[in-house]
């Protein structure tokens, strides 16, 4: 069979992209198109399912199958899609409000089932499409249209939540670092199971530069912690600082500390990823990269196995046998 070799442009749909000038979503879209081409994905077997919000317009701009659904429910729709057609590569596009507020329930349950879907969570810590209210990831005290006295709610860490629900793939990357973004998306694409990818994303209109202190090009070297498998947890401009274990969490130490931790994304206990996800600037550097990557049977695999066992146990039943079960025959 001929395998069609595709390039980035083959994944560009005819729809006009309608995000604000300078929106971080553009970079994610471009990188996604490149990743699909590079990883050899087919257009017909790729499905992008989104909820509601600026980022959820994403599927319209990809020359693949796309379903722009309802607020917060994309993981549930994706679950049905993947359950009946395990051949498909199913991507969920969601934002911090969509996934964590109205869709919090579905986000948790998709993860714990380990449904084989890739959840890209665009986190700009604000409601963009409804024009500027605080979101579940906005800092407590943040002043917005709906919180003139400051957001009363504590910010939620999407990745800590994912770790709590025992996600098999957890990663963070950003809209302004295409190479890192591509690396993470490729790894997510190859993962069997629910992949949760938080993308630090900038909203130029309502929350400009929210991630700037650690994610701005000038601050990255100092304040991001790049996670690499088998590499020590070092950060700072000249990699002079390190993380060491401190009770159930971490503390900052010098690079020559004998207890410097080495990153292992295959750590079985989700507590490690949970602790990483709870590292917040400015007390700590912000980790980016792959936090966790472990193997567990996926939801569609479990369903298929159950089905195979049932067939083995009962043999194949045709409709007549099935309908006549428990019946008695009457002759006239």
Q: Summarize as ranges the residues that interact with other proteins (CB under 8 A).
A: 13, 15, 43-47, 49-50, 52, 59-60, 62-70, 73, 76-85, 87-88, 105-106, 108-109, 303, 306-307, 310-311, 313-320, 322-332
Task: Kindly state the smallest distance separating residue 329's Cβ from other proteins, in Å.
Answer: 5
Beta pairing, strands 234-235 & 241-246: antiparallel
Most distant pair of Cα atoms in the chain: their distance? 94
Beta pairing, strands 89-95 & 117-123: parallel
Using omega within 30 degrees of 0 as the cis cutoff, is the peptide bond preceding 34 cis? no
Nearer to other proteins (CB atom), residue 248 or residue 328 = 328
Nearer to other proteins (CB atom), residue 82 or residue 220 = 82
d(CA 185, CA 31): 9
Task: Kindly state the smallest distance separating residue 73's Cβ from other proteins, in Å.
Answer: 5
Instruction: Identify the helix (H) or strand (E) that includes residue 311.
Output: helix 299-314
Sign of the alpha-carbon torsion through 232, 158, 69, 201: negative
Task: Kindly state the smallest distance separating residue 326's Cβ from other proteins, in Å.
Answer: 5
Task: Kindly state the smallest distance separating residue 122's Cβ from other proteins, in Å.
Answer: 17
**Hey, which bits of 159-211 come out as E strands?**
169-174, 195-200
Nearer to other proteins (CB atom), residue 92 or residue 203 = 92
Nearer to other proteins (CB atom), residue 105 or residue 229 = 105
Nearer to other proteins (CB atom), residue 109 or residue 296 = 109
Task: Kindly state the smallest distance separating residue 171's Cβ from other proteins, in Å.
Answer: 24
Beta bridge partners of 75: none
Q: Name residue, tokens 């006009």.
A: 16
Nearer to other proteins (CB atom), residue 148 or residue 326 = 326
d(CA 203, CA 95): 12
Task: Kindly state the smallest distance separating residue 110's Cβ from other proteins, in Å.
Answer: 9
- Whether 172 and 197 have beta carbons less than 8 Å apart is answered as yes
Q: Is 253 helix (H, G, I), strand (E, B) or coil?
A: strand
């Amino acid at each position: 069979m001929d395998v069609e070799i595709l390039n980035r442009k083959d994944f560009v749909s005819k729809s006009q992209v309608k995000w604000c000038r300078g929106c971080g979503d553009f970079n994610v879209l471009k990188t996604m198109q490149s990743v699909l081409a590079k990883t050899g994905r087919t257009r017909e077997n790729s499905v992008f399912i989104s909820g509601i919000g600026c980022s959820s317009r994403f599927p319209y701009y990809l020359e693949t199958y796309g379903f722009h659904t309802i607020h917060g429910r994309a993981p549930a729709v994706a679950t049905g899609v993947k359950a009946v057609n395990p051949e498909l590569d199913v991507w969920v596009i969601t934002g911090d409000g969509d996934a964590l507020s109205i869709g919090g329930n579905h986000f948790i349950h998709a993860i714990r089932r380990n449904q084989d879907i890739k959840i890209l969570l665009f986190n700009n810590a604000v409601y963009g499409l409804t024009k500027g209210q605080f979101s579940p990831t906005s800092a407590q005290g943040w002043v917005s249209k709906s919180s003139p006295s400051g957001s009363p709610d504590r910010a939620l860490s999407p990745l800590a939540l994912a770790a709590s629900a025992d996600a098999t793939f957890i990663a963070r990357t950003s809209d302004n670092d295409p190479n890192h973004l591509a690396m993470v998306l490729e790894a997510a694409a190859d993962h069997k199971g629910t992949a949760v990818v938080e993308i630090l994303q900038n909203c130029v209109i309502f929350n400009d530069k929210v991630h700037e202190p650690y994610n701005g090009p000038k601050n990255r070297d100092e304040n991001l912690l790049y996670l690499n498998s088998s590499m020590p947890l070092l950060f700072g401009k000249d990699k002079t600082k390190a993380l060491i274990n401190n009770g159930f969490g971490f503390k900052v130490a010098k690079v020559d500390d004998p207890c410097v931790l080495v990153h292992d994304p295959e750590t079985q206990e989700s507590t490690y990823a949970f602790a990483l996800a709870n590292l917040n600037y400015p007390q700590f550097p912000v980790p980016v990269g792959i936090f966790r990557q472990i193997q567990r049977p996926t939801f569609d695999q479990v369903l298929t196995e159950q089905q195979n066992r049932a067939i083995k146990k009962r043999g194949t039943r045709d409709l007549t046998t099935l309908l006549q079960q428990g019946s008695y025959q009457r002759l006239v």
